Amino acid sequence: MTTTDSLAWRDEDVRGFGMAVGGPAKVLRPTTVEQIAQAFIEVRARGGEVALRGAGCSYGDASTSKHGFVLDTSRMNRVLAFDPVTGIATVEPGVTVRDLWRRSIGHGFWPRVVSGTMAVSMGGAAAMNIHGKNNFALGSFGEGVKSFELLTPRGELVRCSRDTEPELFHAAIGGFGMLGCFTKLEIETKRVHSGRLRVWGIVAKDLAHNLQILEDLRGQADYLVSWLDLHGKGVALGRGLMHRADQFESGEDPEGLRFFDPGLQDVPPNLFGVIPKGWLWPGMWGAVHLHQVNLVNWLKFQAGYREERHSPYLQTHGAFHFLLDYVPRWQWMTKPGGLIQFQPFVPFEHGERVLRTLIERCHQHGMVPYLGVLKRHRPDPFLMTHAVDGYSLAMDFAVSKSQPKREALWRLCRELAEVVLEAGGRFYYAKDAVLQASSFGRVHGDAAVTKFRALKQKWDPDRLLQTDLSRRMGV
């Protein structure tokens, strides 16, 4: 570790969550807005570029900068205020989803939109405009942001809301850290009347069944998400287990009020109260490297029938949402090559055809994702939106250490991207490592790209804010 300047930049290996991309960078963890401003000045003077980073939970290269400078806001993590009547929180950018619900749940509020891990920061959530399992109903994270302060590379602290600087408001949310650094955000949470949810497991025999369940239930359910066994072929192609979860009405679950205790929401550190969950990933590593994922998926699918018979059952909000946090460092099961996630968004009218084609192509190329997650979405009002009125399918691929195999995977994903783009689909940069600059206009449309570039020119004329992702996409 070396210190290189007046600010304490440290040499570190900065990677995406999936570990497959990223590299060495100089990292600073500011604790004040003044330090961020100072960092901008210092990096500009050195002719460098800065990547903003929150908790580093983007799977790919959205918050990495190989051989560059990385400004990690995770130490700016104070909840500055929480109004127990309205549920509105004022937070620093490094506050995580976990920090937020721990503060709100005791007052009967839960974050409107949460990701599959609670480690994500508010700055990163806003910059990517994350979605939850309720995207079809409540929309994206940004729709619950009331206002924010953005420190631009020009050194101005700009307050943005739907009324003040609305253009910048709608571009910085979802603007993948290209226009400035969120330094403070005002975020809505939502009222919940129990610390638990009523949950159903529903077996979906194939892709069409999965999509039909989403359509049938999206007017009624609060949350819907389906795990897909992407190893299923023929009549089993796209089979999976859908989870529906509903909130309780006031007074419906008096026993559930006990679970407003944050200690009862957290994911337990031990399995059966004994085995540290941190020990589980080596077993999963075995499944991936001994090519047993298809067997594991088959067993999981069969277990779905039992779950369906025992539905509905009760789960805390934490247990339902943060399944992926149950196994700490689970991504290590893909070492040494790591993993990439690829999450296309496909318009409703092309949903079944395109998703079927994507899964079939994976089979044809012998590179089947070990995990697939299907969700229903709705459009949102942000400039660089990835949302569509349709579906997303997140596909997790283990990456080989062998360069030819790695290149083959990248080629496959680009081939899949073509299928999606031809159907008017979009991509989510938090889950991308493979798209190329030629896709940027096709993902967002020329008008949006022109407007975004103009805003970049206005607020960051020296193009100080860059990441490996933005360079790859030619932003």
Ligand X SMILES: Cc1cc2nc3c(=O)[nH]c(=O)nc-3n(C[C@H](O)[C@H](O)[C@H](O)COP(=O)(O)OP(=O)(O)OC[C@H]3O[C@@H](n4cnc5c(N)ncnc54)[C@H](O)[C@@H]3O)c2cc1C
Residue 446 vs residues 255, 263, 267, 450: alpha-carbon distances, Å: 53, 48, 44, 6
Which of 65, 117, 152, 226 binds ligand X (CB under 6 A)? It is 117
Q: Is 324 in the site for ligand X (CB under 6 A)?
A: yes
Q: Which is nearer to ligand X, 108 or 189 (CB)?
A: 189
Stretch that binds ligand X, among 19-27, 53-61, 79-87, 285-293 (CB under 6 A): 53-61
Could you tell me how many helices (H) and strands (E) the chain has, helices first? 15, 21
Question: Which one of residues 19, 91, 127, 368 is an interface residue with ligand X (CB under 6 A)?
Answer: 127
Q: Which residue has the tokens 């195999």?
A: 405
Q: Is 136 in the site for ligand X (CB under 6 A)?
A: no
Rank residues 237 and 395 by Cβ distance to ligand X and give the closer one: 395
Looking at 51-59, 100-108, 208-216, 298-306, which segment touches ligand X (CB under 6 A)? 51-59
Q: In terms of CB distance, is 237 or 469 closer to ligand X?
A: 469
Residue 164 to residue 170: CA distance in whole angstroms: 11
Asked if 175 and 123 count as a contact pair (C-beta separation under 8 A), the reply is no
DSSP letters for 31-91: SSHHHHHHHHHHHHHTT--EEEESS---SSSTT--TTSEEEEGGG---EEEE-TTT-EEEE
Q: CA-to-CA distance for 176 and 321, rounded, in angstroms?
A: 24
d(CA 369, CA 232): 11
Residues 19, 27, 62, 241: which binds ligand X (CB under 6 A)?
62
Site membership for ligand X, residue 54 (CB under 6 A): yes
Contacts 24+ apart (CB under 8 A), 288-291: 288/333, 288/334, 288/370, 288/398
Q: Which of residues 442-471 bind ligand X (CB under 6 A)?
A: 467
Taking residues 147 to 186 in sequence order and writing x for each that binds ligand X by CB under 6 A, - otherwise, the string is: -----------------------------xx---xx----
Give the one residue of 23, 48, 106, 116 binding ligand X; rule: CB under 6 A: 116
Number of residues that bind ligand X (CB under 6 A): 33
Token code pair at residue 404: 């030819």
Residue in 118, 128, 138, 187 binding ligand X, rule: CB under 6 A: 128
Of 65, 73, 104, 210, the one binding ligand X (CB under 6 A) is 73
Residues forming beta bridges with residue 268, ordered by sequence position: none
- Tell me how far CA of residue 387 lies from CA of 121, 208, 378, 417, 420, in angstroms: 20, 21, 6, 16, 13
Letters for 404-443 (x = contact with ligand X by CB under 6 A, - = none) are --------------------------x-------------
Element (H, E) at 398: strand 390-398
Q: Which stretch binds ligand X (CB under 6 A): 21-29, 45-53, 253-261, 438-446?
A: 45-53
Q: Which is nearer to ligand X, 213 or 384 (CB)?
A: 384
Q: Euclidean distance between the first and final Cα of the chain, in Å?
A: 32
Near ligand X by CB under 6 A: residue from 28, 39, 43, 130: 130
Tokens, residue 415: 């081939």
Does 210 contact ligand X by CB under 6 A? no
Q: Which stretch binds ligand X (CB under 6 A): 47-55, 82-90, 266-274, 419-427?
A: 47-55
Q: At what angle do helices 207-217 and 351-365 cross, to 10 degrees?
A: 150
17 binds ligand X (CB under 6 A): yes
Longest Cα–Cα distance in the chain? 64
Q: How far, in Å, CA of 475 to CA of 464, rounded?
A: 12
Out of 30, 68, 87, 93, name the contact with ligand X by CB under 6 A: 93
Confirm if 244 and 226 have CB atoms less than 8 A apart.
no
Residue with smaller CB distance to ligand X, 230 or 430: 430
Nearer to ligand X, 119 or 417 (CB): 119
The least CB distance from residue 59 to ligand X, in Å, is: 6
For the CB of residue 195, give the shortest distance to ligand X in the complex, in Å: 21
Site for ligand X in 249-268 (CB under 6 A): none
The correct pick among 123, 304, 318, 344 for binding ligand X (CB under 6 A) is 123
The answer to the question of residue 39 lying near ligand X (CB under 6 A) is no
Is residue 146 packed enough to be buried (19+ CB in 10 Å), middle (13-18) or exposed (0-12)? middle
Q: Which is nearer to ligand X, 134 or 189 (CB)?
A: 134
Tell me the residue number closest to ligand X, measured at CB: 124
Helix (H, G, I), strand (E, B) or coil at 15: strand
Q: Nearest 10 degrees: CA dihedral of 95, 469, 47, 154?
A: -50
Positions in the binding site for ligand X (CB under 6 A): 17, 51-58, 62-63, 73, 93, 115-117, 120-121, 123-125, 127-128, 130-132, 176-177, 181-182, 324, 430, 467
